[in-house]
Amino acid sequence: MIANTAAYHFVTIDAPQVLADRLVADAEAAGLRGSILVAAEGLNLFLAGSPAAIDAFYDALHADPRFSDMRVKTSFSEHQPFARLKVKVKDEIISFRRDDGQPLDYPRAPAVDPTTVQRWLRQGHDDHGKPVVMLDTRNVQEIEYGTFKDALVLPIDKFTDLPAALAPHRQALKDSTVVSFCTGGIRCEKAALWMQNDGMDNVLQLDGGILGYFEEVGGEGYEGRCFVFDERVALDSQLQPLVDQPLPEPKPSAF
């Protein structure tokens, strides 16, 4: 059995390359595969391996005060979904290129937990009687596999397209409670923050994203699967992969 993890955390990293070198050494020693993205703004991880190796890796990472409260979302598969281990140091751990959407520069945008969203979707409005609009901040490739019922979806190919794609809908959204969501929450950290700073005071982010919603309440209100960027392709509401088959052994990596 393989444990598949997704985790991110926005925190100041003074020496991104030093952290990247340490984490890739730890991951290689544990036999993990996946990706490690490090930037001055934080850390973004997609790693898979044996449950014991995964636990040991994240135990060590959580021992670092910078990442002590980093949430790790875990699902399981029969086979390893990553071909190899990759590490990159980047300008952003998720590229948005908006100064008004940078989590280290502003307080976190308001969030709503999955249980509350489930209840709102059941009753058809929020606790103040306002209509709820689920706003999908993912790209069209991901949305093809599934999204929340009646969600507002945007014709974007990459996350940086979101501000322009949202513009025609802003007036129609002003009297609703907008719940923005993505796969694991990282994009919504920036999207909800940017929307709030750009004058949309009715926007919340779904805490933990779709995967957190599946993990906490299941798939009620969601139609289809959640696309993931590895060989599993997509996960159902029970976090089971669409594809679960062995990969060829990885070739030596230059990373």
Active site residue ranges: 182
Instruction: Give yes or no for a contact between 37 and 88, defined as CB atoms under 8 angstroms apart.
Output: yes
Instruction: Give yes or no for a contact between 174 and 183, defined as CB atoms under 8 angstroms apart.
Output: no
Q: What share of the chain is helix, strand, coil (3-state, %, to 5)?
A: 30, 25, 45
Per-residue HEC secondary structure of 98-163 comes to CHHHCCCCCCCCCEECHHHHHHHHHHCCCCCCCCEEEEECCCHHHHCCEEECCCECCCCCCHHHHH
Instruction: Give yes or no for a contact between 213 and 168, defined as CB atoms under 8 angstroms apart.
Output: no
| Cβ neighbours for 2, distance < 8 A, ≥ 6 positions apart | 48, 49, 50, 76, 77, 78, 79, 80, 81
Instruction: Give yes or no for a contact between 210 and 166, defined as CB atoms under 8 angstroms apart.
Output: no
CA distance 157 to 177: 25
Instruction: Give yes or no for a contact between 98 and 21, defined as CB atoms under 8 angstroms apart.
Output: no
CA distance 186 to 159: 11
